Amino acid sequence: MTTSTTRTTRGKGRDKAAPARPTQKDIALAAGVSQAAVSLVLNKAETPSVPPATRTRILEVAEGLGYRPNHLARMLRSARTMTFACVIPDITNPFYPGLVRGLQTVAAPAGYDVLIFDTDGRPEREARAIDWLLQGRADGVVATFFHLRVPQLAVLARKGIPLVRLESQHKPDGPLAIDSVYIDNAEAAAAMTRLLIARGHRRIAMIQAEFGPSQRRAQGYSAVMREAGLAPDFVTDSAYSEESGARAMTRLLQRKGERPTAVFGASDVLALGAMEAARNAGLSIPGDIAIAGFDDIPVAKLLGLTTVRQPEFDLGALAAETLVRRLQPGGFGSPGKSHELKFEIMKRSSV
Amino acid sequence: MTTSTTRTTRGKGRDKAAPARPTQKDIALAAGVSQAAVSLVLNKAETPSVPPATRTRILEVAEGLGYRPNHLARMLRSARTMTFACVIPDITNPFYPGLVRGLQTVAAPAGYDVLIFDTDGRPEREARAIDWLLQGRADGVVATFFHLRVPQLAVLARKGIPLVRLESQHKPDGPLAIDSVYIDNAEAAAAMTRLLIARGHRRIAMIQAEFGPSQRRAQGYSAVMREAGLAPDFVTDSAYSEESGARAMTRLLQRKGERPTAVFGASDVLALGAMEAARNAGLSIPGDIAIAGFDDIPVAKLLGLTTVRQPEFDLGALAAETLVRRLQPGGFGSPGKSHELKFEIMKRSSV
């Protein structure tokens, strides 16, 4: 395991200064309650079996005695931060919180906290994330970068910070500790396009974003359209946002000539914006226009949006497992791998 | 300005070792492009005027020369982390990303990155967030704690780390650098309850969560129900989640006797879960049952959910402004203040 000199030095300095730590037993004695109650209150969010006054008392005593969970002691011993960073382009896109939750679910029992860094999909903020990581703020990283590529990211692996990228396609094995998790975005978009064609649509437009996975999704859509003898029809707006989706749909509806009968948003938030713009224009979905998305964000089900399910929770969990393995002794020895998970087409009422 | 010894020492150590930093002009010369193009590529997410190959070249040259934005130099000079932490109970609740975005919008131009720490609303994770902060990982904190109270949080202010809490009511001035931002949650819930009564509802149930702002919202609802001679009717499930909302609604629908004609979710995600459970039970909204929420998350508009708008973006921005002021020279001198913002009742089709 490679660690930067700074981190090792800091860890050692702190270890010497660490005071004697109270145990849960000490807290139980001081609060005059059972050790089982202390364990419950300190480890569970919900403790219906412990009266609220007892819970408060236990927390106050724990605080008074300076109780800290094992986590901190473990961190001090190992000279690690016991932190994973999750670098995402847009925290307001409901796809990413699911990814973070998957990551946390594996990271927490392994003793790692998860910190989230939102880049807003901007190159300057992605560079800041790298700066911040190079200061030794996290032991490993799960990231979606829209702009930085392996040449710019290699510095992390060289500093002993493993990276798992959320990708839109298979990546060849590499010499560095840069792994990836993905669903086949092109094949998933192709499958959705085939569904739209099977439902009788011929004029199918795709709403794209400027960066990120949109490109691979567009390739899958284009390939199927051409195979079917149909003309791909793209509207590109800047971001993966409802505003971009609504703007793109408005442009589609204002065009002269025949209107598309189906619109495929390169992400669910784009599709949601398109739905809103279509309804505002007095169109019914799917009667006047069918709308499909990509991601299967939590609200897609409630809105009846036909979409591609990305298993975001599982992608996050797999990424965390990969980091945990990389951080075990000898974990840096193996080449960077690309791990595929399966997508699913969710057929709902919008198509 | 108070900083911990560790942080000051680290800053100084790094400052000495800092190499000469390339400027954007150096990069322009090395890449054979204009300085304007370099500035665009390094500062903007979208650069339609710069050909993709040129953009890639600029980023590669910048990386090769070891370019870092001014941010890092600034951080090294000041012995600060130039980071704000945002501690939230649930990243999958669409209310919080808006808060984070407001925070970022003020933090970024002031030179601060924002890191997000998700506690899952659990006391153990809240304690971890405090541990992490006490290691000097952030200069200031915006937080929603469900369990920790001022006695446990005071340690931050004493270490020179200002804290702004997202609260559900006015807090009295305090001696420490612990401020708060809030809307009057009780009054907002009272206003929503009055609307439901004005629409003719008499049997109005409220779906609550176990911790957090739900309690103040319940107080506002109870007060208005009693004033109107009606019996408050609570169903409590554990968390602010769709699952909890759906479970609570299912319990309501399985009860013997007359069913409520309106259900007020203590948050929008609870209301969304309730909507789904009601529809799965074959009920129409608002025909068979009216549903109201609290928060006005982005998707509420698309779903036609009547709800209380919390200005989450403005709350985040105000919290960030408060931190920036606290971190200016002398900023620790003034007492902790509570800042109120206004709520709004959003009348849509679900009521």
Asked if residue B77 has pLDDT above 50, the reply is no
Q: Which residues of A touch B97 (CB under 8 A)?
A: 91-92, 97
Backbone angles phi, psi at B167, to 5 degrees: -115, 170
Nearest residue to B220 (alpha-carbon basis) of B196, B245, B240 = B196
**pLDDT tens-digit profile of B218-244?**
999 999 999 999 999 999 998 999 999
Looking at the complex, report in whole angstroms how far the Cα of residue A91 sits from the nearest Cα belonging to chain B: 6
Q: Which residues of B touch A128 (CB under 8 A)?
A: 69, 71, 113
Q: Test B117 with A115 for CB contact under 8 angstroms.
A: yes
Q: Which of B99, B113, B153, B280 to mutate to test the interface with A (most CBs of A within 10 A)?
A: B113
* Minimum-distance CB partner of A100 among B45, B91, B114: B91
pLDDT winner (highest mean) among A284-298, B78-92, B327-341:
A284-298
- In this structure, the number of other CB atoms found within 10 A of the CB of residue B81 comes to 23
Q: Which of A92, A240, A280, A295 to mutate to test the interface with B (most CBs of B within 10 A)?
A: A92
Q: Test B98 with A92 for CB contact under 8 angstroms.
A: yes
pLDDT of residue B267: 97
Asked if residue A77 has pLDDT above 50, the reply is no
Asked if residue B43 has pLDDT above 70, the reply is no
Looking at the complex, report in whole angstroms how far the Cα of residue B123 sits from the nearest Cα belonging to chain A: 6
Mean of pLDDT over chain A: 88
Band of residue B50 on the pLDDT scale cut at 50, 70, 90: confident
Instruction: Decide: B292 and B263 in contact? Cβ < 8 Å.
Output: yes
pLDDT of residue B2: 37
Asked if residue B44 has pLDDT above 80, the reply is no
- The CATH architecture annotation of domain A79-183+312-342 reads 3-Layer(aba) Sandwich (3.40)
Identical topology for domains A79-183+312-342 and A185-309: yes
Band of residue B8 on the pLDDT scale cut at 50, 70, 90: very low
Q: Which residues of B touch A69 (CB under 8 A)?
A: 124, 127-128, 131
Give CA–CA dist B218/B213, Å, rounded: 9
Q: Test A71 with B128 for CB contact under 8 angstroms.
A: yes
Asked if residue A57 has pLDDT above 60, the reply is yes
Q: Which residues of A touch B41 (CB under 8 A)?
A: 123
Nearest residue to B166 (alpha-carbon basis) of B53, B55, B318 = B318
Looking at the complex, report in whole angstroms how far the Cα of residue A324 sits from the nearest Cα belonging to chain B: 19
Instruction: Decide: B239 and B93 in contact? Cβ < 8 Å.
Output: no
Q: Which of A7, A43, A57, A63 to mutate to test the interface with B (most CBs of B within 10 A)?
A: A63
Pick the CATH number of B81-183+312-342 from 3.40.50.2300, 3.90.980.10, 3.40.50.300, 3.40.50.261: 3.40.50.2300
**pLDDT tens-digit profile of A110-167?**
999 999 999 999 999 999 999 989 888 899 999 999 999 999 999 998 888 999 999 9
Structure tokens at A188: 């998933």
Sign of CA dihedral A42, A111, A117, B153: positive
Give CA–CA dist B259/A238, Å, rounded: 48
Q: Which of B124, B155, B303, B350 to mutate to test the interface with A (most CBs of A within 10 A)?
A: B124
With a pLDDT cut of 70, the percent of chain B lying above it is: 89
Looking at the complex, report in whole angstroms how far the Cα of residue B152 sits from the nearest Cα belonging to chain A: 7
Q: Test A211 with B45 for CB contact under 8 angstroms.
A: yes
Looking at the complex, report in whole angstroms how far the Cα of residue A63 sits from the nearest Cα belonging to chain B: 7
Give CA–CA dist B242/B222, Å, rounded: 23
Task: Name the DSSP class of A230.
Answer: -
Give CA–CA dist A335/B313, Å, rounded: 43
Mean pLDDT of A60-77: 58
Give CA–CA dist A88/B101, Å, rounded: 13
Between A189-193, A218-222, B154-158, the lowest mean confidence (pLDDT) is in: B154-158
**pLDDT tens-digit profile of A6-43?**
333 333 333 333 345 678 888 888 888 988 888 877 76
Nearest residue to A311 (alpha-carbon basis) of A285, A344, A334 = A344
- In this structure, the number of other CB atoms found within 10 A of the CB of residue B171 comes to 17
Asked if residue B214 has pLDDT above 80, the reply is yes
Q: Which residues of A touch B151 (CB under 8 A)?
A: 60, 63
Instruction: Decide: B107 and B134 in contact? Cβ < 8 Å.
Output: no
Asked if residue A68 has pLDDT above 90, the reply is no
Greater pLDDT, B15 or A68: A68
pLDDT of residue B24: 82
Q: Transcribe A7-22 into DSSP letters.
A: HHHHHHHHHHHPPP--
Asked if residue A274 has pLDDT above 90, the reply is yes
Between A86-95, A115-124, B327-336, the lowest mean confidence (pLDDT) is in: B327-336
Mean of pLDDT over chain B: 88
**pLDDT tens-digit profile of A252-272?**
999 998 999 999 999 999 999
Band of residue A79 on the pLDDT scale cut at 50, 70, 90: low
- Provide the residue ranges of all domains of chain B, joining segments of one domain with +: 5-75, 81-183+312-342, 185-309
Which strands form B113-118's sheet, in the order they lie side by side? A338-340, A178-182, A163-167, A140-143, A83-88, A113-118, B113-118, B83-88, B140-143, B163-167, B178-182, B338-340
Between A230-234, B46-50, B116-120, the lowest mean confidence (pLDDT) is in: B46-50
Backbone angles phi, psi at A179, to 5 degrees: -105, 170
* Three-state secondary-structure class, residue A179: strand
Backbone angles phi, psi at A231, to 5 degrees: -90, 120
Domain B5-75: give its CATH code. 1.10.260.40
Asked if residue B135 has pLDDT above 60, the reply is yes
Burial class of residue A348, CB neighbours in 10 A (0-12, 13-18, 19+): middle
Sign of CA dihedral A223, A229, A230, A234: positive
pLDDT of residue A106: 95
* Minimum-distance CB partner of A91 among B97, B117, B131: B97
* Minimum-distance CB partner of A42 among B43, B124, B137: B124
Q: Transcribe B17-73 into DSSP letters.
A: HPPPPPPHHHHHHHHTS-HHHHHHHHH-S--TTS-HHHHHHHHHHHHHTT---HHHH
Band of residue B89 on the pLDDT scale cut at 50, 70, 90: very high
Asked if residue B72 has pLDDT above 50, the reply is no
Q: Which residues of B touch A101 (CB under 8 A)?
A: 91-92
Residue of chain B whose Cα is closest to the Cα of A132: B72
Asked if residue B105 has pLDDT above 80, the reply is yes
Q: Which residues of A touch B87 (CB under 8 A)?
A: none
Band of residue A80 on the pLDDT scale cut at 50, 70, 90: confident
Q: Which residues of B touch A295 (CB under 8 A)?
A: none
With a pLDDT cut of 90, the percent of chain A lying above it is: 68
Backbone angles phi, psi at B204, to 5 degrees: -115, 120
Q: What residues have CB less than 8 Å from B268, skipping those under 6 apart?
A: B94, B95, B293, B294, B295, B296, B297, B300, B305, B307
Sign of CA dihedral B290, B295, B299, B302: positive
* Three-state secondary-structure class, residue A330: coil
**pLDDT tens-digit profile of B187-203?**
999 999 999 999 999 99
Give CA–CA dist A78/A12, Å, rounded: 9
**pLDDT tens-digit profile of A197-207?**
999 999 999 99
Q: Which residues of B touch A98 (CB under 8 A)?
A: 92
CATH topology for A22-67 is 434 Repressor (Amino-terminal Domain) (1.10.260)
Task: Name the DSSP class of A260.
Answer: P
Amino acid at A11: G
Q: Which of A115, A126, A211, A285 to mutate to test the interface with B (most CBs of B within 10 A)?
A: A115
Q: Which residues of A touch B6 (CB under 8 A)?
A: 10
CATH class for the domain made up of B185-309: alpha beta
Q: Test A115 with B115 for CB contact under 8 angstroms.
A: yes
